[in-house]
Structure 1
Amino acid sequence: MAADTPSTIVDIDAWEAFCDELKAAGQQIIRPEAPRDELSRAEGWRYLTRLTRIALDMFMECSDRDFPSFYRPSHETAKIGADNPDNHYLRAEINGKHDYRISGSRGTVAYLGFIAIAGGYEEADGNMRSVGAIDTHSGLEVNPDGSIDVILSQTPQAGNWLKITDDTVAVLVRETYLDRSTEIFADLKISRLETGSAKPAPLSGQKLKTDLASTAAFVKGTASLFADWAKGFKEHPNTLPPADQAYCQKLGGDPNIFYYHSYFNLADDEALLIEVDDVPECDNWNFQLNNYWMESLEYRYVQIHVNKHTAKYRADGGVSIVVSGSDPKCKNWLDTTGHREGTMAFRWIGANRIVHPRCKVVKLTELAKELTQ
């Protein structure tokens, strides 16, 4: 058997370059505008480890586009860009030049959507563009037995068809709950339709180098992108202005969602009161609290978000949400979990019209009076 040559051996330089890029990502955590308190700083370092876990799945473990598989790109312990606590996310890496089928059970989640993605946070422009979408809001067909089939191709197909393009790199699935405790998420699998190799190719040295580089680039690019977002949000604290919707779509946003992103900054004796007096007809709406790094706060054990189903409504049909660090003993209170500042997000999902929420900072001692007005 021929001996390995230098061109076929994976040199330590590839590993050292990977480690150097991860080290450089740490500069995002010590940016001058970022909070310097112990909690925010500790969560920042943990955030980088979480991004690394996500990226290793994305580029090292699930990157064979001839044999795609779904993985969770954001979940309870790995979070990106104001991840929605009401969502169960799935993603699979694909090649837009091939055709694929997604099949499985529909489940009972309130909203199920598929988006074909081009680009990613690891690229220079940081864009993760949507090139096609199909969802339950726009007529996703469900078989009588509760199963679904979706064809991904460049050529239109009968039934559920998700358009893809030459530069498509992935399909992202959003399954949105109204109540996680009672609803069943969709059970899906994906496969390439054309006949290809019978089994995956062994890992090559060049692929290993490429995947390591992409992993590190994703961590660095994602951390930088959302640190930039948080910096901008600080300029309008304790308000909820509409986000740039076109920009949200360039970064992988759902076309059925109208987004608001902002920043909370509250003293210990203050609360942020968020009110919507006229709730439009919609598939869902929700509001959530995030840390500075735009990770949703701990929603498994703490009430840090509220949605259409879980909210307690006022007698007039409107809704009031209260954000504070201590429990004011009122409806729809969200716990900042020790954070005096952080980011926040509001979404209308499939709304027939858009109603902007109102925000007001009030003293905790005055909150009861505000809620009765």
Structure 2
Amino acid sequence: MTGTDAAWADYQRVIDQARTRAMTSSWASTPQLRAQAAYYISMLQAFGFNLYMAPRQAYPTFFSHTIFTPVEYQWGAPSPDFRYHWTAIDGRRTYRIWGRRGNTRWLDIQAQHGWWGDADQRNLANWDIDEFELGADGSFEAIASADPQPGNWMKLDRDSHNICLLVRDVWDDWANADGATIHIECIDRAPSDTVLLSEAQIAERLGKIAHMTSFSVDWYQDMSDTVLREAGGSNRLWLPTMSVSNVGGNPRAVYIQMIYDLAEDEALIIDSEIPDCKYWSLQLADPWFQTTDYRFHASSINDKQARRDADGRVRIVLSPRDPGVPNWVDTAGLLKGLGMWRWYLSPSHPVPATSKVKLAEVRDHLPADTPTVSPAERAEMLATRQAQVARRFGF
């Protein structure tokens, strides 16, 4: 058996073990949740190829359709308000990064030592493009390297040979954002560099895909268990005390979570004060942290989309059927899942209150002046939503 054959056999063994753990988990207790778990395992292998097998650190490209998309790749509870770009680089090399900021809320670049396929994954740095010197048209250029550079410099860790650069391009104003453009090139590539991978590299990368799949199954299952336990049960939001920046979370954000669990005739009213923050949002996902489809369903809401009540608070109705109110978050058929509230660059992090009510009684628990959204108006809102997401991703 060759080294590649042994690596493939080991890859299949680890994947199969991870699949068994997922399919026998308490989070796969219904046919619907079992299907989500099965999809999760299949998606992780495709995701792993994009993240670990495909990249060439000497020939980097910022990708946006091979990591987080509205329907297909939703691992890690990506925000419905961001367009993510990513690439893999080597801290020993020197790169030029350039582009144009666009009119989105902000453009953040996060550097991670490795990622979910690396046992020693950790956060290295974050850069806000607004802290760079920008041209009058929002254009920027920076050098990423271990050695200091004049102008905009992104310091790399020379000992990190597989750095994931994750870009968050914030599109919270879905109707008016035009988004950023961002490019990268390696400027010290040697004539001996090649896009070809050796058998040893193939074997190593297969191992990383297997580790990412196994680690993801265990981490997110444990995280859902933790949210349910620490919140004191379902349908209650919980503010974690630990940082998640070393597993891809943004250190500029605070993530408040809950496990929601509803019947077809129930709704959850979520009530929050709103501090003067950079951005906030509520989104849904399944218990494996796969973001609920937000292109064809109203499964998320943010600071630009939500209607505030006269007292300045925001009240959101989370339910499997349309309650006919402006601030509706649709479970998209998933009666049990994850709710994620993000505060970005906020002076405080209030935990929104929740109350479970009968869907038919929702208006009894909202201000009397809450507008009514008719089925025709909802259909128009959803059509607009679909068009806005399609524009963002170039569909």
Whether the aligned pair in 1 keeps the contact of 2:89 and 2:164 (CA below 8 Å) is yes
Out of 256, 260, 265, the position equivalent to 1:260 is 256
Q: Which amino acid in the other structure matches residue 243 of structure 1? A: P
1:166 aligns with 2:162: no
| Separation in 2, partners of 1:323, 1:301 | 16
Q: Indicate the SS of the match to 2:12.
A: helix
**In the aligned structure 2, how far is the partner of 1:259 from the partner of 1:250?**
14
Q: Which of 13, 21, 24 lines up with 2:14 in the alignment?
A: 21
Q: Which runs of 5+ in 1 are unaligned?
A: 1-5
CA separation of 1:206 and 1:179: change in aligned 2, threshold 3 A: same
Which residue of structure 1 aligns with residue 90 of structure 2? 95
Q: Is the 8 A contact 2:266 2:319 kept in 1?
A: yes
Determine which of 201, 204, 214 is the counterpart of 1:207: 201
Aligned residue number for residue 240 of structure 2: 243
1:233 to 227, 231, 246: 227
Equivalence for 1:218: 212
- Rounded to whole Å, the distance in 2 between the matches of 1:358 and 1:150 is 43
Following TM superposition, by how much is the alpha carbon of 1:36 offset from its aligned partner in structure 2, in angstroms? 1.9
Separation (CA, whole Å) in 2 of partners of 1:94 and 1:351: 31
Runs of 4+ with deviation above 4 angstroms: none
Cα contact 1:107–1:185 (8 A) shared by 2: yes
Change (3 A) 1:158 1:294: same
1:55 aligns with 2:45: no
When the two structures are superposed, what TM-score results if normalisation uses the length of structure 1? 0.90
| CA distance in 1: counterparts of 2:51 and 2:4, whole angstroms | 23
C-alpha deviation, 1:117, in angstroms = 0.6
Identity of paired residues, percent? 28
Alpha-carbon distance change, 42 to 195 in structure 1, aligned in 2, over 3 angstroms: closer
Residue 205 of structure 1: how far off its partner (Å): 1.3
Q: How many residues align?
A: 360
Deviation at 1:11, TM superposition (A): 4.6
Q: Deviations over 1:222-263 (max 9, x none)?
A: 22211111121222321112123x421221221221111221
Check 1:272–1:160 CA distance in 2 against 1; reply closer, same or farther (3 A cut).
farther
Match of 2:348 in 1: 353
- Once the two structures are overlaid, the 10-residue window that deviates more, 300-309 or 160-169, is 160-169
Task: Determine the C-alpha separation between the residues in 1 that align with 2:26 and 2:153.
Answer: 45
Say if 1:11 and 1:54 are closer, same or farther in 2 by CA, change over 3 A: closer
Q: Which moved more, 1:69-78 or 1:284-293?
A: 69-78
Cα separation, partners in 2 of 1:356 and 1:164, compared to 1, 3 Å:
same
Q: What is the CA distance between 1:201 and its match in structure 2?
A: 4.6
2: CA distance between counterparts of 1:263 and 1:89?
A: 25
Contact 2:264 2:335 in 1 (8 A): yes
1:12 aligned residue: 5
The answer to whether the Cα contact below 8 Å between 1:59 and 1:211 also exists between their aligned partners in 2 is yes
Stretch moving more, 294-303 or 84-93: 84-93
Query: Structure 1 stretch 141-150 or stretch 256-265: which is displaced more?
Result: 141-150
For 1:176 and 1:122, locate their aligned partners in 2 and report how far apart those are by CA, in whole Å. Answer: 26
Cα deviations by residue, 1:169-199 (Å, 9 ceiling, x for unpaired): 2211111111334322222111223242365
Quote the RMSD (CA, aligned, Å). Answer: 2.1
User: Which is helix-richer, 1 or 2?
Assistant: 2
Q: Which amino acid aligns with 1:74?
A: F
Q: What SS does structure 2 have at the residue aligned with 1:209?
A: helix
CA contact (8 A) 2:96 2:187 kept: yes
Deviations 1:129-169 (A, max 9, x none): 22111114x62432123321122223444433323213442
SS of 1:323's equivalent in the other structure is strand
1:354, CA displacement in angstroms?
A: 2.8
Deviation at 1:291, TM superposition (A): 0.8
The residue type equivalent to 2:9 in the other structure is E
Hey, what's the Cα distance between the residues in 2 that align with 1:220 and 1:88? Answer: 26
Structure 2: runs of 5 or more not aligned: 369-395
CA contact (8 A) 1:116 1:162 kept: no
Q: Is the 8 A contact 2:227 2:238 kept in 1?
A: no
Structure 1 residue 101, shift from structure 2 partner: 1.8
What does residue 3 of structure 1 align with? none
Q: Which amino acid aligns with 2:170?
A: T
Per the alignment, residue 318 of structure 2 pairs with 323
SS in 2 for 1:247: coil
Residue deviations 1:8-49 (CA, integer Å, cap 9, x gap):
x66533322222222122023223421422221112111122
Aligned to 1:148: 140
